[in-house]
Chain A
Amino acid sequence: MEALIELLRSLPGASGMSDQTAFIAAAASMATIMFMVMALCAIVFTWMERKVAGFIQNRYGPMRTGRWHGVAQAIADMLKILSKEDIIPAEADKGLFIFGPILVLLGSLLAWAAIPWGPNFIAADFDLGLFYIFAVSSMVILGLLMSGWASNNKWALYGAARGAAQMISYEIPLALATIPVVMYVGSLNTTDIVVAQQGGIWNWFVFRNPFLFIAFFLYFIASIAETNRGPFDMPETESELVAGYHTEYTGMRFAFFFLSEYANLFLVALIASMVFLGGWWAPIPGLPNVPWLTFVIKGILMVFLNMWVRWTLPRVRVDQLMHLCWKVMIPLSLLCVIGSGIWMMLSGQAGV
């Protein structure tokens, strides 16, 4: 962020900018860049999802749009969605109907502020990084409930209620699984978390501790449930047989949900690679490394893992989902926290 302020100041004619103007200009450009990254995510990952799904199912996926393997398919889909008529049901709660998707998008967009792409390459470097990300992602749940309620549609409400229950339940193992890492690092600052993993693949948090290894998989499963994907897509697909929380949405409003789903996917993949898989550090210390590229590649690998799980496992029923969260994942993640703490104490890394 400071680097961006310096950059803006060095533009011809802008050296006399006051601090506040420079700050606002830098913040606005950061937000725009993050939004463009989100849109790019949606485009790249919808294509990747359709191709991966196709190849897993022994077929090709999109092949015709664009020259090579249907690369223009996502852009074609975006153009189609943008040209649709905007319908608001007559009995729907108009204000909430319009505001719901905005909250969903906002919840996805705000969390990108604390992701470290490189050593000095972060939008907002504050000491609350990781906590901020989890807190802000919870706005999506609000938006979801709002959209489901405002649709004036019974099944949309069912879908939204199930979705909200699922998302708030899985926030707990999601956050608990990252606590052992915070114990090691001693700080919630995301840059510090990544810096503490330098020195090669055995220093990555996923390999330091068998409890952390389990915590990584708990985080991964909880993140699939958080993004309403894969075997946990109760809110959007169970009711697909009837409706779903975004059934009454068309055009740009639907594009907001769509965009935020894929942006959330990439976000949790990046968080997993930042917290457990070493962020921007290369696996072998001596390798020439482009930090943000390594980070993005790790994120893409985690997204691929996510898609692989989605197209393998069947959908989980709502009561099985709740059982899994409250009776299996929360005890296991608490066990990981305690076990990791004991391990740290016994191996002398606690600093106590």
Chain B
Amino acid sequence: MVRYFTNIFDAVSSAIVGMGITIKHIWTKPVTLQFPDERQVLPDRFRGFVHNDTDKCDACNICAKNCPVDCIYIETEGKGKDRYMTRYAIDFNKCIWCSLCTENCHTGSITMSHDYDHAVYLRDSLVYEFMDPRKHIVPCHRQTRIQEGFWVEPKEEKPKRAAKPAEDKPAEDKPVEPEGESK
């Protein structure tokens, strides 16, 4: 008998507590980023579409050799000092975005950009010819995209919610002064 009344009381009070929590959420800022008007701020080492600055590239072939899926096509003419590149293409149908090509480049021409939204209609459009001025590829890097008219100016860039800094753990474990937590 007593349980009957405590049940009613528990049900009502827990429902009220729950509703109190819910109503507070109406006034918290929604976590949604409204793409394409708002974009996420990406970490520095984000691996987006690969970009090769062909002005700096010296056709050493290291990136092509390192690629696990052989998606980089390089054609050169000439020998020795007269070597020049005639074709540099990356086939993004095959690319796995592992960034092995960028790790060993000694001129720093090949980099991972921060682009991820290059959806196209034809599979052939995903073979990016970096040296062919006739083939109109979707350029990486915001400046080139703005010049070519491919950019939608995001209204507001919301920074990703910062992860809780994990400083307390190392400080407790080791008496050694930990170096500053990298971002």
Contacts and interface: CB of A to CB of B under 8 A. Distances in A.
Contacts of B22: 56, 308, 311-312
Contact of A52 (B19, B26, B28): B26
Contact of B30 (A55, A309, A311): A55
B23 interface: yes
B6 to A, nearest CB: 13
A60 interface: yes
A58 B28 contact: yes
Interface string B13-25: 0010011011101
A191 to B, nearest CB: 33
A290 B76 CA distance: 83
A55 B23 CA distance: 9
A284 interface: no
B114 to A, nearest CB: 25
Name which of A54, A55, A63 has the most chain B CB atoms within 10 A of its CB.
Answer: A55
Contacts of B19: 308-309, 312-313
Nearest to A309: B19
Contact of B18 (A52, A54, A313, A328): A313
B25 A58 contact: yes
Given A55-B25, A308-B23, A328-B8, A60 B18 contact: no
Contacts of B86: none
A56 B19 CA distance: 10
Contact of B26 (A56, A309, A313, A328): A56
B90 to A, nearest CB: 34
Interface in A129-176: none
B15 A59 contact: no
B144 interface: no
B32 A60 contact: yes
B25 A59 contact: no
B34 A63 contact: yes
A152 B32 CA distance: 42
A159 to B, nearest CB: 25
Nearest to A51: B26
Nearest to A331: B4
B176 interface: no
Contacts of B8: 328
B162 interface: no
B22 to A, nearest CB: 4
Contacts of A311: 22
A313 B15 contact: yes
Contacts of B31: 58-59
A57 interface: yes
Given A312-B18, A313-B15, A328-B8, A56 B25 contact: yes
A52 B18 CA distance: 16
Contacts of A57: 25
Interface of B: 8, 15, 18-19, 21-23, 25-26, 28, 30-32, 34
Interface of A: 52, 54-60, 63, 308-309, 311-313, 328
The 8 A-B pairs with the shortest beta carbon distances in the complex, nearest first, are A312-B22, A55-B26, A59-B32, A312-B18, A312-B19, A59-B30, A60-B30, A60-B32
6 contacts: A56-B23, A56-B25, A58-B30, A58-B31, A311-B22, A312-B22
